């Protein structure tokens, strides 16, 4: 019970910090541009989303480190959102210099904590545990070196105009002399993210049907985040609003951990992947044809090609996620080749080919053979002397 109260307190703290940040920006008459440039809005959106999603996970699964990492990281990010405008409020109301310096110190040191925890959390998805023993040394190295990024940001000798310098910073010469270390820090963070993604790929390939459904939530969220944030990281002048896609990560994690059976996430991924590929191909084709033909002719030709191309892409993506259910002849051929191996092998071939969670034969109330694990609703088909039990996919109510 205490852990639940602590989780609720962390979520509430992030919300209160965000409300305080809004109140401070209002009293200081900050414009929306000022709020964006000071990262107040992005810190609020990211902080509250991480804190609330983390609190939900910690409330329902208090033994999972995922929830606590997101909750603590979200609170830290929300505190940075509050500290930015609060520093000006304290200064304008004649607060002691040490109070203003403490406030800007919190701003500078708090938000990197959440960014540091994100790569480590990828190793714990989706069940809050390390995938296997071989990943433990990697997780240990990532945890030990994680403070590097916090130090890189916190020790930087930077402060806003009109405000005192924060505590715990280095001089310009000393900080610049450690440029090699900060380069290592940046490379280490990027490598940690890459290692986390590799771990997720391994888990997906080796995981059960349930684990794969959980991880597909992250695929959907991660694809949107990468497309939105990559231009901001590489192209100067990209609007900061692209950072508002980052909250999709904790939301996807919360859905994967707590409500992964809410809908058929494979359908979402299939449709999203299809239209993403189609959009990319259409844009590329249009750009190429504009060089050769007139604008009107290019648009007409691309429009004529888009519809059949969409059908082919949709079929390819559906086959990747759902198997050969749209090709009965190929299914019959594959199942026929497995008949000689025995009933269990045949049922497993049916399950794999059609991407079903479970297929089993029941005779006189007892399972004679089965493939997969029945963990949800099912449908029954009468056989001569028995029953064929088929596990339904998430989101389906009948075959």
pLDDT in tens, 29-64: 898 888 888 889 889 989 999 999 889 888 888 888
Residue 184's pLDDT band, with cuts at 50, 70 and 90, is very high
Cβ(101)–Cβ(166) below 8 Å: yes
Residues 6+ apart with CB under 8 A from 178: 170
Q: What is the pLDDT of residue 82?
A: 94
Residue 341's pLDDT band, with cuts at 50, 70 and 90, is low
Q: What is the pLDDT of residue 15?
A: 94
pLDDT in tens, 113-154: 999 998 898 898 887 888 888 899 999 999 999 999 999 999
CA dist., res. 206 & res. 220, Å (int): 19
Instruction: Select the highest-mean-pLDDT range: 160-169, 238-247, 358-367.
Output: 160-169
Residues 6+ apart with CB under 8 A from 14: 47, 48, 50, 51, 52, 71, 74, 75, 77, 78
Q: At what angle do helices 295-322 and 265-292 cross, to 10 degrees?
A: 150
Q: What is the pLDDT of residue 289?
A: 47
Q: What is the pLDDT of residue 11?
A: 92
Helix (H, G, I), strand (E, B) or coil at 148: helix
Cβ(276)–Cβ(226) below 8 Å: no
Cβ(266)–Cβ(213) below 8 Å: yes
pTM for the complete prediction? Answer: 0.67
Task: Tell whether the model's pLDDT for residue 336 goes beyond 70.
Answer: no
Task: Tell whether the model's pLDDT for residue 275 goes beyond 50.
Answer: no
Q: What is the pLDDT of residue 142?
A: 92
Determine which of 2-11, 137-146, 220-229, 240-249 has the lowest per-residue pLDDT on average: 220-229
pLDDT in tens, 280-317: 554 455 445 444 554 444 445 545 455 555 555 555 55
Residue 335's pLDDT band, with cuts at 50, 70 and 90, is low
Task: Tell whether the model's pLDDT for residue 324 goes beyond 60.
Answer: no
Better-scored residue on pLDDT, 384 or 247: 247
Token readout for 5 is: 């109260």
Q: Where are the domains of the chain?
A: 2-262, 267-322, 344-391
Record: fold of 2-262: Rhopdopsin 7-helix transmembrane proteins (1.20.1070)
Better-scored residue on pLDDT, 161 or 220: 161
Better-scored residue on pLDDT, 235 or 87: 87
Mean pLDDT of the chain: 77
∠ CA(75), CA(81), CA(82), 5° rounding?
90
Residue 380's pLDDT band, with cuts at 50, 70 and 90, is confident
Q: What is the pLDDT of residue 69?
A: 92
């Amino acid at each position: 019970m205490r852990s639940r109260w602590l989780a609720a307190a962390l979520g509430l703290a992030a919300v209160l910090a965000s409300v305080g940040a809004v109140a401070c920006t209002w009293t200081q008459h900050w414009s929306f541009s000022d709020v964006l440039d000071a990262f107040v809005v992005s810190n609020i959106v990211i902080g509250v989303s991480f804190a609330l999603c983390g609190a939900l996970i910690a409330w329902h699964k208090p033994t999972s480190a995922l929830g606590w990492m997101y909750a603590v990281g979200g609170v830290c990010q929300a505190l940075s959102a509050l500290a930015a405008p609060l520093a000006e409020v304290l200064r304008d109301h004649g607060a002691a210099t040490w109070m203003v310096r403490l406030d800007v110190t919190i701003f500078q040191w708090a938000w990197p904590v959440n960014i540091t925890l994100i790569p480590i959390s990828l190793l714990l998805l989706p069940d809050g545990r390390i995938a296997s023993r071989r990943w433990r040394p990697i997780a240990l190295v990532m945890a030990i070196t994680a403070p590097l990024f916090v130090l890189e940001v916190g020790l930087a000798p930077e402060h806003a105009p009109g405000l005192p310098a924060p505590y715990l910073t280095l001089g310009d010469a000393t900080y610049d002399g450690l440029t090699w270390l900060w380069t290592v820090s940046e490379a280490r963070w990027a490598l940690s993210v890459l290692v986390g993604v590799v771990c997720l790929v391994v888990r997906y390939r080796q995981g059960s049907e349930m684990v794969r459904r959980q991880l597909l939530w992250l695929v959907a969220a991660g694809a949107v985040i990468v497309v939105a944030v990559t231009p901001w990281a590489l192209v100067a002048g990209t609007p900061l609003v692209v950072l508002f896609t980052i909250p999709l990560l904790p939301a996807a994690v919360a859905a994967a951990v707590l409500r992964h059976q809410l809908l058929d996430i494979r359908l979402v991924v299939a449709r999203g992947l299809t239209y993403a590929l189609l959009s990319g191909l259409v844009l590329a084709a249009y750009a190429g044809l504009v060089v050769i033909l007139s604008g009107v002719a290019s648009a007409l030709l691309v429009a004529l090609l888009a519809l059949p191309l969409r059908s082919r892409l949709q079929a390819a993506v559906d086959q990747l996620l759902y198997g050969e259910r749209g090709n009965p002849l190929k299914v019959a051929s594959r199942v026929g080749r497995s008949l000689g191996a025995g009933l269990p092998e045949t049922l497993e071939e049916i399950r794999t080919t059609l991407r079903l969670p479970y297929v089993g034969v029941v005779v006189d109330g007892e399972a004679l053979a089965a493939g997969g694990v029945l963990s949800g609703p099912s449908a029954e088909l009468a056989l001569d002397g028995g029953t064929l039990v088929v596990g339904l996919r998430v989101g389906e109510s009948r075959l």
